[in-house]
């Protein structure tokens, strides 16, 4: 079970507090500001467009971690497959009710909707591997009456009304879909509603953000984006290269988003997007989700914190307007710490992260070390002086606008 400190009393009653451990970041808020933040967090639809959670490394007990190692031991000599199988098995354990922290973390975080991601394993670009994860995602929907599968905006609003949460089926790459556009339509029928055009590297659609050249969208990619528009799938450019992102903004008939990125002009990191590209996304009517990945937000600090995240919020609001800013945390990962270490040391270099990109580490953002600390985002926005309606837009209503337009 999760552990909680008494400092959370302003947020939870004694029953909810039993077993939780949460850090309220020190924003030096007054009692009135704390009460306002609490109200806003409870009232708002909160959407995380890259929701790795709901659990975080600190939520995986030693007992659960050892059980996962035992069940996946036969894959230990192949790091990529080992990581994939552990992620798959932890998802299955959650669906079977073996991880009560899964439900606790999500419901107490206050996050109304988060994506349920179709991922690959040893070969993340194969349909076979991705379908294995797809079935694990569906098992979650089938197992929990408190988790709704969101294929239209009303499902998210329904979840909020009923005190439940919603999951949005997404993918971070298109390579596994191949070059048969019927595969995209098949996945749409399953519930796929957000598709990132490329990960870090080239694929059939276009180029990623850490490729050595910036090739843009391919001829096939034009057809792919047009089919996404026809079906009603959000065009996501989170990891997509600069020219591919700009191309997508010109090609798409619907708003283009970046589900999870950072402001490159603030941090200088390759996973961020420069101001010109961010403006292009906003001009389509799209939304930019900001990450909580520490090194993407600040490459100079030894331990970035919530203020670094808020610096990116402020920059983006001034650049494109509050109507185009959202959340796409992408961190921390929904896995034991040792798996996150394997990804940082063994997997990241194989999926387009370079040494100069400061490979994803095992650190988490101070003030956002687990998803239940999403309240710190709301508290931080209060601390920066945003109005109630602006905070609600950033927390989720901006995402709702594009979801209801496209889906």
Per-residue pLDDT of the chain (407 residues; tens, 9 = 90+): 444 333 344 444 433 434 457 789 999 999 999 999 999 999 999 999 999 989 999 899 999 999 999 999 999 998 888 888 888 899 889 988 899 999 999 999 999 999 999 865 444 567 877 888 788 899 999 999 999 999 999 999 999 999 999 999 999 999 899 999 999 999 999 999 999 999 877 899 999 878 888 999 999 999 999 999 999 999 999 999 999 999 999 999 999 999 999 999 999 988 899 999 999 999 999 999 999 999 999 999 989 999 999 999 999 999 999 999 999 999 998 889 888 888 878 777 777 677 776 665 678 999 999 999 999 999 999 999 999 999 999 999 999 999 999 99
Q: Confirm if 306 and 365 have CB atoms less than 8 A apart.
A: yes
CA separation, residue 30 to residues 322, 367, 379 (Å): 24, 18, 11
Predicted confidence at residue 6, as pLDDT, reads 34
Residue 144: left if φ>0, alpha if ψ -120 to 50, beta else—which one? beta
Longest dimension (CA), the chain: 58
pLDDT tens string 161-218: 999 999 999 999 998 999 999 999 999 999 999 999 998 778 999 998 788 889 999 9
Q: Which long-range contacts (CB under 8 A, 24 or more apart) does 336-339 make?
A: 336/57, 336/60, 336/64, 336/65, 336/68, 336/86, 336/90, 337/57, 337/58, 337/60, 337/362, 338/65, 339/83, 339/86, 339/87
CA dihedral 272, 399, 395, 370 (to 10 degrees): -60
Q: Burial-class residue 75 by CB neighbours within 10 Å (0-12, 13-18, 19+).
A: middle
Residue count of the chain, please give it: 407
At 349, list the tokens. 């270099």
At 351, list the tokens. 């999926």
Q: Which residues pair with 258 in a beta bridge?
A: 288
Predicted confidence at residue 211, as pLDDT, reads 84
Predicted confidence at residue 119, as pLDDT, reads 67
Predicted confidence at residue 356, as pLDDT, reads 72
**161: Cβ–Cβ under 8 A, 6 or more apart, which residues?**
none
């Amino acid at each position: 079970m999760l552990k909680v400190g008494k400092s959370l009393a302003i947020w939870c009653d004694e029953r909810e507090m039993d077993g939780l451990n949460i850090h309220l970041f020190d924003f030096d808020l007054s009692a009135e500001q704390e009460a306002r933040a609490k109200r806003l967090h409870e009232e708002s639809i909160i959407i995380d467009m890259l929701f790795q959670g709901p659990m975080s490394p600190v939520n995986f007990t030693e007992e659960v971690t050892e059980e996962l190692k035992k069940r996946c031991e036969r894959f230990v000599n192949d790091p990529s497959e080992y990581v994939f199988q552990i992620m798959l098995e932890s998802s299955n354990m959650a669906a079977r009710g073996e991880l009560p922290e899964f439900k606790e973390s999500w419901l107490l975080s206050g996050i109304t909707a988060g994506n349920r991601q179709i991922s690959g394993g040893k070969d993340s670009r194969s349909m076979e591997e991705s379908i294995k994860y797809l079935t694990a995602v569906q098992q979650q929907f089938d197992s929990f009456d408190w988790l709704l599968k969101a294929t239209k905006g009303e499902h998210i609003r329904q979840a909020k009304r009923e005190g439940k949460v919603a999951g949005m089926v997404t993918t971070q790459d298109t390579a596994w879909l191949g070059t048969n556009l019927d595969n995209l339509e098949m996945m749409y029928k399953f519930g796929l509603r957000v598709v990132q055009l490329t990960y870090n590297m080239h694929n059939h659609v276009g180029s990623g953000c850490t490729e050595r050249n910036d090739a843009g969208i391919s001829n096939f990619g034009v057809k792919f984006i047009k089919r996404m528009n026809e079906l009603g799938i959000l065009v996501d450019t989170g990891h997509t290269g600069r020219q591919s992102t700009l191309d997508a903004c010109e090609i798409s008939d619907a708003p283009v988003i970046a589900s999870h990125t950072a402001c490159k002009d603030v941090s200088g990191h390759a996973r961020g997007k420069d101001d010109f590209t961010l403006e292009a996304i906003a001009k389509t009517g799209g939304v930019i989700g900001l990450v909580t990945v520490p090194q993407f937000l600040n490459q100079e600090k030894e331990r970035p914190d919530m203020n670094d995240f808020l610096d990116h919020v402020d920059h983006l609001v001034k650049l494109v307007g509050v109507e185009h800013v959202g959340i796409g945390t992408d961190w921390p990962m929904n896995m034991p710490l040792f798996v996150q270490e394997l990804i940082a040391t063994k997997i990241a270099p194989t999926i387009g992260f370079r040494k100069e990109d400061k490979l994803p580490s095992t650190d988490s953002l101070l003030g956002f070390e687990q998803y239940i600390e999403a309240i710190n985002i709301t508290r931080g926005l209060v601390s920066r002086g945003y109005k109630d309606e602006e905070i609600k837009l950033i927390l989720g209503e901006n995402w709702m606008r594009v979801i209801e337009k496209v889906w």
